[in-house]
Structure 1
Amino acid sequence: MLPERKMQECLNKSSFSKSLSPGQNWKSKSMRIIPEEFLRSTHESFEHRVVFSVPWNNSWQLWLRPDKKGLFMIKEDWDEFVNDNFLGPDDTLVFTHQDTMYFQHVGHPVIRQYGLEFGPHDSSMYFILPDGNKVDGLTKYYNGLPNFLGWADVCQQYNLKIGDTVVCEFELSGRVVAAVRVHFVNE
């Protein structure tokens, strides 16, 4: 259990907690969701991964995947975190956003300059990969700015890491962005 001072410090930042209800276990799908209220409170877009760090200097990278019910941590990554930390029925986790994550979105100046329009929240879009394959995605809005979920699948498929360079080109259907064509600079 965190000392009260540390708990209050965490709760003053964008945070959420998880603990078990009767009949739940740490590996259930409900434990893997990132709450919508938290996503709104961070004023940022969690697109494809998070990194959990703990006071004893360990960290875990967890990939994210959206579905119709929200944004979820991938089961295998979450299960590894649960196992490594020996989480039990009396544990409570507090997750705090430290403003150190790398976020990217399409900014207002770009939208205005090119007269871009985007589909409604949760509308389908896709990523076109260099080999011609397509990966499904969703258009999401955070703070009024469009974001595309589905990037985690592209990153995993091509083993992309922080620091890798890609060029993304919007494909339009009329004036609406319908797809993102992905070009890998290193290929």
Structure 2
Amino acid sequence: MKGLLVDDDALYLRTLQRSLARRGIEAETALDIESALALARAAPPDFAVLDLKLAHESGMALIEPLRALHPDMRILLLTGYASVATAVEAIKRGADDYLPKPATLESILRALALAPAESPPEDNPTPETMTPLHRLEWEHIQQALNDTGGNVSATARLLGMHRRSLQRKLAKRPGPERTPRED
């Protein structure tokens, strides 16, 4: 199973690529439409995970060319700007599924039909995990750092916080996601 991940956030791409690799799923990454199409033409992937907003481009522009290269490819559109209108448009263009960010790895795998097919027994369902708040905060800070070229003072101003508070948050890298406890 080989995939293509397209997002203009390099940190998010690396994180998702490593998470998939831990599950034995190989994926190439691209930061823009041109690179994504070049990779897909060289070796058509089995699935593609596309971000809706790619800098000054739209990930929706990739759906039809990818579908033409490999009609059976599973295409998932992820976005931090979810709306009913974009979901409908993505499905009309040929996407198989549409998820708002942040999406858990399990929900991405289910949308791509890569998760195990068997469902848990009705009396003991496996709880859905959400991305913890501290992980979302960490990713938001990392995006702001990226936008300011790594300048901590400028990032703190951008986020509306004191520089020392930001430095303390950066020192506390979040751990892995956990499954919620059953009560």
Larger relative CO (CA 8 A, sep 6+): 1 or 2?
Answer: 1
Query: TM-score when scaled to structure 2?
Result: 0.25
Structure (1 or 2) with the greater helix fraction: 2
